[in-house]
Structure formats: C-alpha cells, structure tokens
Structure 1
C-alpha cells in the first residue's frame, strides 16, 4: 500500500502529470509487487518561489524539471527491491513524460504495517 506525494514546478500539462502517475504506478507494480488498483497518489505543483532544490547536490545536474517523489510504504522491502524501484521509476518517467534521470528524486518513508488504515477507521494490517 504505497502512498505517493509528487511535487513539481507548476505549468506542466495534464498529460504530463498523468504520465508521472502512470509511470510511478507501473514501477511500483513491477518492483514492489503492488496489487492492481492500489493507487493512492497526489501531485502538488509549486511556483518558482515555492520550489527550491540544489542544482548540483551529490554531483547530480538537476534542472527546473525536477520531480520530487516521496513514497510511504510498509517496511517489508529489501534493499535490492528499493534499488530496483529507484531505477525503474527513473526509466519509466524517462519513457513518458520524458524526464531526465537527473530530474527524478525519490525518497521512501517506511512505516510498520499496523500504521495503515484503508478506511472504516480500521487497521487492516494489524
């Protein structure tokens, strides 16, 4: 049950944003075995004054097309799965909407399975 928050500079067309959703979901399905229809994602757009990043941190040459992706997941995946996810997200978003891999920033937030409620006020995994 990933929960994804995506941030980017304002001004991209709807098709661009939908391609990010689709590529991220495809990468999660392929590397984290996310079930079909398990899609919980938001995109937040920011004007230039509200979107700050380092154009060179860690030796990565970023541009204003940078997309910040934070995914909350259960703490059940291996390091190999995480590496596969990062690579697959960059590749998928390179295919469509055409993002450079340098402009794909991903952060995973891991939580215990009992920290999820999918509705009805229940802790379905607990």
Structure 2
C-alpha cells in the first residue's frame, strides 16, 4: 500500500519496541484524502494486530497517538524605517487554513516489521 501524505520516521527503544512518527499539513480540500490515509493505516493495524491499540507495557501489540490543529496564517509585510531605526509591520490578508495532523504508531518488533512491509516504509 502506498502512502501519499504520511512520511514516517522510525525510532526504536532499548527493548526493541519501535515508533513510527509522521506529520502532514494539508489544505481543507486535501483533508478527506489525508483522513482516509490515516484511517487506512489504523484499520490495517487493528485488523492485523487485534491486541491493540493498548499500551505496550500492558501487553498491547501496538498503540497510537493522533493529534491535529488548524491554523490560519496572515503574512506580515515588514519594512525597515531608516529614519526611526525600527522595523514596521503590516498584516496582510489571512490565507486559507491549514490542517496539521501528527500520527505516532508504536509497536512490538513483529508489529513494526509487518507495518514496514505493508506500507513499504524504510
């Protein structure tokens, strides 16, 4: 399965448990595709490893953390005023909102290997 929005980084603890972390920032028009991709990953996790999500220290095969935010950015026009020695600013028109999502998926060594294979993660 190919992922278009989620680009995972992988880390491992001293006991061999691994964590895949991804962040994606999209426009509202791209949100349905990102939402679908995250759901695809979590559905796979649930179907292939039904002993999760649950904390690994409690015997779960995998667990996840999903966070999000929506931000609207207004550009600033900055200019140096030589007469006063100050930087002057003017706010521009607000841009379109961006939705930022972070997903962390942690799991046992066997879970991590299976997730890596299923989604072609390096």
The bucket for the TM-score relative to the shorter chain is 0.3 to 0.5
Q: TM-score, normalised by structure 1?
A: 0.34
Which protein shows a greater Rg? 2
Q: TM-score, normalised by structure 2?
A: 0.35
Larger helix proportion, structure 1 or 2?
1
